[in-house]
Amino acid sequence: MFGAGLRVGNAKMASLDKLDLVLGEDQFAIRTLSDKLRVRHRDRALNEPDHECLGHLFKTLDGHLIRGQKVFANTDRVNLDIKRIADGSLSLRISTNPNKWHHPWATSTDPGEYREFRSGLETEIDDLGISCDLSSARLARLDLARQKQLSHPLHSYHAVLHSLKARRQHKTAHQDSYRVGNRQRQISIYDKHTEANLDDSLRHLTRVEIRFLKSETTSKFTGLRLLSDLDHDITGAGFEHLQSVYSGYLESEVFSSPTGEEKAATILGYRHIASQIAQESPNGILGRFLGEIGIFEATRKAGGSDELADIITSTRDFKSDESRRRYHRRMRAQIESLFAGAISRQTIENQSFVSLYHELASFAQDEPTPISKTA
């Protein structure tokens, strides 16, 4: 049961959604095997003696020798693994979601609740029979999140999402989710109402998460390396810094326009592609070009329909300036018609592409629309 007036939306700032912490062999000790810790043994071949599959892991402070692949624990609030890593040393990895210490699915940017989470995490690890200084743990993964109710189902925004840039990252779309990313970092957009099976009053509640999946990526984008850095950051400035990281990442990686250099390089590349197509099919340049690039991507990266028409026009020779202008106007009209047609097929009726874009882009703004609910 949650308190009256609990804010279940994210009113102003990005929330700390998931946290993975890593401690090295000399940073923790297992006092005893509590009843919540489990040992996992690796599978062995039939001709392999039993003793060879039971590699030595560690010895508890109370004298128990532990063999196996790893020791793990899964509680309501923490997932924990103790195992040997590539260099042969022992490693402790702790995964948790600070938000879920206070609510099943709502986000929190309350420094007081963060302090409660930190105190609770210390107690949880101690109760598992492990002694360590958590503040010295390395930030191995850090997720930031906001959520708000959109006007329409998430799939209505897919045309907008497909048109946005995501350098060196892959896009994966499903009915209720959309992900852009690689092995280092991701942006995950999904329907929280469906995922958490929430009340219909929260229909179209959508969450946008930024996931920094490696220590190096977390440090690069947040400037934070250890849990103590995160503690000091939130103690000193609340969630202001994390909000800045979140907004800055979305703006630079997704919602920004191409820079001058990017645009120039794109236009040069597009001219090369269009010229090759013109040699093979001089009367079908636009159709084949857009078939290879895509109407949304080509128009956005070129800088607009006029600029894209310039690229197509540059591939042909004309007898006069007037015939060049007529051809350019015809190409621009076709591009705008194709763009409008693609939008009308991929977005909901009577809803403009621009308005859908701005609704998504509001996640990167300082104060998205809050959602309040009395639980």
Gap between the Cα atoms of 314 and 307, Å rounded = 11
Which of 11-15, 100-104, 248-252, 324-328 is least confident? Answer: 11-15
Gap between the Cα atoms of 299 and 306, Å rounded = 9
Tokens linked to 143: 């997720």
Residue 120's Cβ-count burial label (10 Å; 0-12, 13-18, 19+) is middle
Give the model's pLDDT for residue 81: 95
Backbone angles phi, psi at 256, to 5 degrees: -90, 160
Gap between the Cα atoms of 31 and 27, Å rounded = 13
**Range list of H helices, 128-191:** 158-163
- Please, which pLDDT band fits residue 118 given cuts at 50, 70 and 90? very high
Radius of gyration, alpha carbons of the chain: 27
Residue 251 near residue 215 (C-beta atoms within 8 A): no
Residue 136's Cβ-count burial label (10 Å; 0-12, 13-18, 19+) is middle
Residue 272 to residues 174, 269, 292, 296, Cα–Cα distance (Å): 34, 5, 13, 19
| β-bridge partners, 79 | 74, 95
279: number of Cβ within 10 Å: 9
Question: Going edge to edge, which strands form the sheet with 90-96?
Answer: 38-40, 70-74, 78-84, 90-96, 15-24, 138-149, 205-212, 185-191, 177-181, 170-174
**Does 5 have pLDDT greater than 50?**
no
Closest CA to 254 of 351, 326, 179: 179
Query: Higher confidence at residue 222 or residue 268?
Result: 222
Give the model's pLDDT for residue 274: 72
Strand boundaries in 270-341, DSSP class E: none
Percent of the residues in the chain that have a pLDDT greater than 90, as a whole number: 44
Q: What is the mean pLDDT of the chain?
A: 81
Closest CA to 366 of 258, 250, 223: 250
- Please, which pLDDT band fits residue 101 given cuts at 50, 70 and 90? very high
Torsion angle defined by CA atoms of residues 230, 138, 19 and 145, in that order, rounded to the nearest 10 degrees: 50
Gap between the Cα atoms of 24 and 8, Å rounded = 36
Q: What is the pLDDT of residues 329-374, one digit of tens each?
A: 998 888 887 776 665 555 444 455 667 777 888 898 866 434 433 3
- Please, which pLDDT band fits residue 102 given cuts at 50, 70 and 90? very high
